[in-house]
Amino acid sequence: MTRRTSLKITDERERQVEKASEIVANSSDDDPPMSVVIDAALAHLIQSEENICDACSDLDPATIQPFNTDVLGLRYRTEIESRWR
């Protein structure tokens, strides 16, 4: 991962941050800081990958594949593939 001093917020990224912020917020009046939203998204990504890895030993690939996302997906029974990049 390359470290950068600034994060460019494109229109699409802004829309995603707003949607994620609504998910993280405690109520409709809550406006969580961007750092909290990013922390929650990172925690979710890590936990999702762990959950898919754990499920591979218990479930067949056809059962798991409907839960694939644009970021994580089951490629084979023994491998989790990150499709983000």
Predicted confidence at residue 12, as pLDDT, reads 92
Read off the pTM.
0.71
Residues whose CB falls within 8 Å of the CB of residue 57, separated by 6 or more in sequence, listed in order:
none
Mean pLDDT of 50-72: 82
Cβ-count burial 62-74 (b if 16+ within 10 Å, e if not): eebeeeeeeebbb
Q: Indicate the pairing of strand 72-76 with strand 79-82.
A: antiparallel
Give 5-28 pLDDT, tens digit per residue: 677 889 999 999 999 999 999 998
Higher pLDDT, 30 or 60: 30
